[in-house]
Amino acid sequence: MSKNTIIGIILIILLFVWSINNSSKQQELSQAELQKKAREIALEKARMDSLAAIKGEKTLSGTQKSVANQPLKGSAEKEEGEDEGEGEGEGDEEAAPPSNRDISVETDRFWITLSSTGAKITSIVPKTLADSLGNYPELLQNKNDGALSISFDQENFEDVIFSISEPTADSIVVKDSATIAFEWKDKKGRAMIREYKFTKEGHSVKNVTRIKNFAPKLYTLNWKGGMRETEDIPVGKSFGMNYLFSEVIFNNTYNVQRETVTGKTFLNRDPGKALWVGLRRKYIAGIINFDGVSEASLGAEPVKEKRNEKDPGTYALTISDNMNSDSIAVDFTVLPLNWKEIEKMEQGYEKIIVSGWEWMGADKWFVWLCGILLQILNAFYSIIPNYGIAIILLTILVKVVTTPLALKQIRSTRSMMVLKPELDVIRAKYRGDMRAQREEMMKLYAKHGISPFSGFAGCLPMLLQMPIFIGLFVVLGRSIELREAPFFAWISDLSKSDIIWSGFSIPYLMPEGISVLPFLMVITTWFQTKQTITDPNQKMMVWMMPAMMFVFSSVMPSGLVLYWTISNIWSIAQYMIIGRKKPALAGKAEPPKGKIIEAKIVKGKKKR
């Protein structure tokens, strides 16, 4: 392996890491440019006011927060009687507000709690992400703020207590379908009904809001409570990459965007169209689907609340648009990121897991490649139900497929190494005459039947393999299939580090405890690098590569480290087999004889 090849590998790895950590910053800059173009000055002001409203700065006058968990019947009837003018002599007295009531709804896929305060969602518990102890995670970061509260112009209904239009139990198990309706009205005759419709097996909850006897110019639908990470968040500091995700996601009708925002941001002000918007964590997403293509403005800002310093945090979402009718309809989808299931929905949801640069078409072909790799992984698992073995088989398959390219790279590199002494002679002899140097090199290449572009050709196979290796890296780091998937012995969860001793740690490298696989990967990387680097000037790379890989792998999911270790072992064996044979050259390469005399560099005299 030549010096240029080693440098190329390092640059590609660094470029890959840099692209992951900085793609969001580039997207933020592009979005900042879009924000300068507002479609309407008046609409912009209304949106900003609405975003302030969801933070509690302005609320509907005359409303009160809930004070107790009491039955709603009676207080709601009293409110209706007052609207109709009943209760003479009591018109000047303010009626007691209805009390808050929570209704839990269970489907085959989740438990969702609805609150009559704000007629919003206050809890989401997916059934698909139970841990090994049978515990189910809560998705909302802040349950009090919840999701799908609503505002109209400057009136915020987040803390308004709605009545329930029909007698409803506190806990409902959906057998086929179910509808929960919340109703609000005031003395002016204004009314609002908010319905939540469930199906037994559906991923979504349909929310329909209807208004009567008032005509606001703008509505704002709020998801203020954010999304909580379902997995354990490491607390120790480390040099390695963060394998947790917290992103704002949306489909702008031609691609899926994944954003990390650092301040109040409007995501699609200039394009103005979207199919859906939501939040994503590592293994799950929450999506608000519009009824067709929407021109609503999508706002996001960070939520300050975090579980610990390693938590990437979450975001509050707002959806603001002109009120063009008397109803608003959206679907709220709870979406575990299982590629096979979400791809069937044909909404581009698989791009939540994996995306690529649009300028090189990677948003299509790279996503397709990752999907194929995951299908092969699951196919191996269906034969041998162990994802550790499936990873090994997939790694071997990829290495077999890419072997012709790898052989070409190795042979080209070794051929150039054989000719290196003679090339050094030519460089020294014709150091002052670059034209003569090139001519002599071309003669030497022709003599031995080697292309002058062999150096580049040696790197090309490696470049062709990189998308596959990066695809495997992405798939194994984000696949929900590996969540709590055991391999053997101490490797009980391929989605986490294979910690065998949590009582001792290495600061910044293994902050949670000592793992075994990273050391095995470092050893195999050292052997592979040592056998391919023979130039004394490059000996430092024998230690630099393993050290760099140790920093990356020390906090990697064990499934990723397993893949890299098996890949190293294959490459070592492959090189040992090929290394037995000397490269076939058309002519015999002979070492230089005698003393090499370097040509003097003749500098031309400057004209006066």
Q: What mean pLDDT is reported for the chain?
A: 79
* 586 located within any domain: no
- The verdict on residue 584 lying in a domain is no
Which string of b and e fits 110-125 if b means at least 16 CB within 10 Å?
Answer: bbbbbbbbbbbbbbbb
Same domain, 11 and 56: no
pLDDT in tens, 234-247: 777 777 666 788 99
For 343-374, b/e burial (b = at least 16 CB within 10 A) is beeebbbbbbbbbbeeeeebbeebbebbbebb
**Identity of the residue numbered 265:** T
Write the DSSP string, 391-446: HHHHHHHHHHHHHHHHHHHHHHHHHHHHHHHHHHHHHHHTTT-HHHHHHHHHHHHH
- Looking up tokens 């009687």 gives 81
In a domain, 386, yes or no: yes
Give the tokens for residue 322.
């002109």
Number of domains in the chain: 2
pLDDT at 52: 46
For residues 383 and 260, state if they share a domain.
no
293 three-class SS: strand
Cα separation, 296 vs 293, whole angstroms: 9
Residue 550 contacts residue 515 (beta carbons within 8 Å)? no
Whether residue 246 is contained in a domain is answered as yes
Give pLDDT, residue 546.
Answer: 86
pLDDT digits (tens, 9 = 90+) for 369-422: 999 999 999 999 999 999 999 999 999 998 888 888 777 766 766 677 777 788
Give the residue numbers spanning the domain of 551. 3-16+377-579
- 3-class DSSP assignment, residue 461: helix
Instruction: Report CA dihedral (377, 379, 382, 385) to the nearest 10 degrees.
Output: -20
- pLDDT tens-digit series, residues 93-122: 455 566 889 999 999 999 999 999 999 999
pLDDT at 568 over 60: yes
Q: With respect to residue 343, please indicate whether it lies within any of the assigned structural domains.
A: no
**pLDDT value, residue 11:** 56
CATH code, domain with 166: 2.70.98.90
Res. 214: pLDDT tops 90: yes
Residues 305 and 387 in one domain: no
Residue 268 located in a structural domain:
yes
CA-to-CA distance for 255 and 158, rounded, in angstroms? 32
- For residues 187 and 45, membership in a common domain is answered with yes
Q: Based on the domain organization, do 7 and 52 belong to the same domain?
A: no
- Residues 3-43: pLDDT tens digits? 555 555 565 555 555 554 454 444 444 444 444 443 444 34
| pLDDT at residue 587 in the model | 52
Q: Is residue 326 part of a domain?
A: yes
437 shares its domain with 571? yes
Q: Which stretch, 24-28, 227-231, 306-310, 329-333, has highest mean pLDDT?
A: 329-333
Domain co-membership, 289 together with 438: no
Interval 430-466: pLDDT, tens: 887 888 888 888 888 777 777 666 555 556 656 767 8
Report, as an integer, the average pLDDT of 491-509: 86
Among candidate residues 313, 338, 363, the one where a domain is terminated:
338
Phi and psi for 155 in degrees, rounded to 5? -100, 115
Angle at 336 between CA 333 and CA 341, to 5 degrees: 90
Q: Is 28 domain-assigned?
A: no
Rounded Cα–Cα distance for residues 168 and 181 (Å): 9
Is the domain of 382 the same as that of 250? Answer: no
36-90 pLDDT per residue, tens: 443 444 344 444 544 444 344 433 333 333 323 333 333 333 334 444 444 343 4
